Structure 1
Amino acid sequence: MPVQPNLLERLALFRFDRAPSAIVDLLDAGSFHALALAHDLSVFAALDEPRSVGALATEIDADPTALGDLLRVLAANGYVERDGDAVVRTAATERWLTEDGEANLAPWFTFWRDVVFPFWNEHLETTIREGRPPLTLYEWLTANPTLWPTAQRGFRAAATLIVDPVVDEIALPGGARTLLDLGGGHGLYAAELCERNPGLSAVVFDHPDALEVAETEIRDRGLADRIETRGGDYRTDDVGDGYDAVLLFNVLHGHDEAEVRALFERVHEALAPGGRVVVLDQFQGGGRMNLGRAAVALVSLTYRATLGRGVHDADAVTDWLRAAGFADVERTGLRRDPGSELLQATRR
């Protein structure tokens, strides 16, 4: 969590410019790295009950003095707090950064630290000067395959925040039995849909190195007899046909208009008549409040730096769906994911 300046500090920093407000960015950057390291060390998991610094250090095999320094940073930013001589995780940490909570977003921060920002360090300046990176993040991951699981665990962590409202909104055709999750990576959405629809089976199709997390998800949920993974290039390889529904989640922003149009045509061919395509992505103009606008701006820059592409206009995407042979396009905004929309359409 970002440091929270008190009233006097807010006035000095933001209202009267008596001190450089950019210092908050530095403090937040330090907090970000402290959070990611705490996740690596299982600090939050070990604080499932109050522990002294010494007991916690023994539990996670750390030096107690250095761990105390880390805990003070975490406490200053609201991740842990003192309870007498013990340290406890805060309610917000328990809710958003542990397996016991509503969503564990910690792997998402690890993904940014270990994948996105190292890629930025290599290629962001080139992107700004030349308009695109010399290679995409996915090509970079293929050259660094040990980072694929980190990326997919990060994507899955972000998805846990919205999976319930997204799946609640998905309108599968009546009696739907087959689903294709195209570029499905971590497999969370396909697994959740199959659990909610006992007659449904699914294929999760993505880069071969991206499927390890999906395979773990499927195995842990006991869905191996209903969900299979297939590795390949969804732009050129055979993805099958006759599906009742196809998911295209966080895929479009990696492609330009011509590629998106071609992808919609492939999806149209893969669907049975009356089948549904469901698109989830970020779109231009999203984010109506400050935090939402900042998030969409950061995501858009990240896509430009990592994929050489940007977010599309939702109205244009709707037109491209209709041109590919889809009708009855429905759009739903997601309050938990500013700037994102869910688009659903039926194959004519």
Structure 2
Amino acid sequence: MPIQPNFLERFAFFTLNAAPTPMLDLAGALGYQALSTAVRLNLFNTLQERPSTLPELVQTLNCQERGLKHLLSALAGIGYVVAKNGRYHNTTMTEKWFTDGTMLDLNNAVTCWDAFLRDLWPHAPEVIQSGERPYNFYDYTANQPGLSHAHQQMMFGNANLNAPDVTSRVKLPAGPTRLLDVGGGHGAYTIHFCQEHPNLQATILDSAIALETAQQHVDAAGLDGRVQLQPADIWQIDWGQEYDLILLFNFIHHYDQETNVKLLHKAHAALKPGGQVAIFDQLESKQFGSAISGLLQLISLMYYLFADGRIFSRDEMRQMLGTANFSNIQFFTTPKWAGQSLVTAVK
């Protein structure tokens, strides 16, 4: 976790500006590298199986004792492990977010971010200077062995954290209904909607490599008879017609306003009268505190650097939906969504 200054340290860093506050950002970078090292060594899963002494971990993880002791001390200092009676244990935070298996998939998130920080972020100065990227983010993730699956698994974990709240806020009519999930490669939201609505039939539209992950999750949920996976370029294919609900989740941040209006026109044409489009994405909002607002600006920078994307405001979202002839626009958010918002609108 981020280093937590005590009261006196906060006073020195933030109130008096007497200590070099940017050092906390540097400490965060060091903390991430320690965390990444632990994940690559499989340390947390090893401790989940059995709390262990340092000599036991040296043998199990095939490590040099001095180096492993330094790593464990660093991880204890930032709240990931704790030593009790000579044995190292995961903290409750580590158990919840790294080894529980039902929450976020932070192990795959670390795999992704190791790659992004190594291969993409070093190009940030030239991207900001020229506006050009020497990579295509989607080709990059697709062509790196294992990275596409890790990326989809990371997104699947994020979605599972939010999906119960999201699905409960999107109302569908009684009886048989149809859903189109555009760019829903990992399948999590479609699965949750199908579990919430037994008469729902769904189609997930995404690239073939993304849908490989969706297939695994759809099969595991026993929904292969209700969920169709359609590999295609979303801009080249006809989406069909008469859908009750179209999902554009974690999608609009990839494009500019003009392109998003075209996207929303395609959604409008594919819905039946009275059908809904639902958008779940980061949106700027005055409802958020300073931590979430700061995080959103960092995420917006990331979207720009990686894929020429951005985060939109609620007013921009209203304008785009209105231009695409949607009405009854509603916004929902909760602190649990950490800066993300749900937007629904009706054809």
Post-superposition CA distance 1:230-271 (Å, at most 9, x none): 222111223333322110001111111221111111112222
Amino acid aligned to 1:83: K
Q: Distance in 2 between matches of 1:216 and 1:61?
A: 33
Residue 274 of structure 2 is aligned to residue 300 of structure 1: no
What's 1:32 paired with? 32
> After the TM superposition, which residues 47-126 of structure 1 pair with which residues of structure 2 at under 5 Å, given as runs?
47-48=47-48, 49-100=50-101, 102-115=103-116, 118-122=119-123, 124-126=124-126
Q: Distance in 2 between matches of 1:102 and 1:121?
A: 31
Amino acid aligned to 1:55: E
Kindly state the Cα deviation for residue 340 of structure 1 after the two structures are TM-superposed.
2.1
Q: Distance in 2 between matches of 1:47 and 1:286?
A: 42
Q: What is the identity percentage for the equivalent residue pairs of Structure 1 and Structure 2?
A: 31
| Cα RMSD after superposing both structures | 2.3
Post-superposition CA distance 1:45-88 (Å, at most 9, x none): 22224222233344444444432222111111001101111111
Amino acid aligned to 1:300: S
The number of equivalent residue pairs is 346
Kindly state the Cα deviation for residue 299 of structure 1 after the two structures are TM-superposed.
0.7
Amino acid aligned to 1:140: Y
Q: Contact 1:149–1:213 at 8 Å: present in 2 too?
A: yes
Post-superposition CA distance 1:281-309 (Å, at most 9, x none): 11234663221012101111011111112
What's 2:220 paired with? 220
Seen in structure 2, the aligned counterparts of structure 1 residues 179 and 121 have a Cα distance that, compared at 3 Å, is: same
Residue 340 of structure 2 is aligned to residue 345 of structure 1: no
Amino acid aligned to 1:337: W
Structure 2: any 5+ residue segments left out of the alignment?
A: none
> After the TM superposition, which residues 227-306 of structure 1 pair with which residues of structure 2 at under 5 Å, given as runs?
227-285=227-285, 288-306=288-306
Q: Distance in 1 between matches of 2:238 and 2:100?
A: 37
Amino acid aligned to 1:109: V
Q: Contact 1:115–1:151 at 8 Å: present in 2 too?
A: no
Kindly state the Cα deviation for residue 138 of structure 1 after the two structures are TM-superposed.
1.4
Greater alpha carbon shift after TM alignment, 316-325 vs 189-198: 316-325
What's 2:154 paired with? 154
Structure 1: any 5+ residue segments left out of the alignment?
A: none
Q: Contact 1:286–1:338 at 8 Å: present in 2 too?
A: no
Q: Distance in 1 between matches of 2:121 and 2:98?
A: 25
What's 1:312 paired with? 312
Kindly state the Cα deviation for residue 15 of structure 1 after the two structures are TM-superposed.
3.4
Amino acid aligned to 1:334: T
Seen in structure 2, the aligned counterparts of structure 1 residues 95 and 256 have a Cα distance that, compared at 3 Å, is: same
What's 2:44 paired with? 44
Seen in structure 2, the aligned counterparts of structure 1 residues 58 and 205 have a Cα distance that, compared at 3 Å, is: farther
Seen in structure 2, the aligned counterparts of structure 1 residues 115 and 230 have a Cα distance that, compared at 3 Å, is: farther
SS at match of 2:284: coil
Q: Distance in 2 between matches of 1:266 and 1:335?
A: 31
Amino acid aligned to 2:188: L
Post-superposition CA distance 1:102-151 (Å, at most 9, x none): 444343233222235531113x1122112353444113334436421122
Q: Contact 2:167–2:196 at 8 Å: present in 1 too?
A: no
Seen in structure 2, the aligned counterparts of structure 1 residues 163 and 10 have a Cα distance that, compared at 3 Å, is: same
Q: TM-score, normalised to structure 1's length?
A: 0.90
Q: Contact 2:51–2:87 at 8 Å: present in 1 too?
A: yes
Q: Distance in 2 between matches of 1:146 and 1:286?
A: 39
Residue 208 of structure 2 is aligned to residue 208 of structure 1: yes
Residue 129 of structure 2 is aligned to residue 129 of structure 1: yes
Q: Contact 2:204–2:227 at 8 Å: present in 1 too?
A: yes
Kindly state the Cα deviation for residue 319 of structure 1 after the two structures are TM-superposed.
3.0
| Bigger relative contact order (CA 8 A; separation at least 6) | 1
Kindly state the Cα deviation for residue 189 of structure 1 after the two structures are TM-superposed.
0.6
SS at match of 1:219: helix
Q: Distance in 2 between matches of 1:20 and 1:150?
A: 36
What's 1:20 paired with? 20
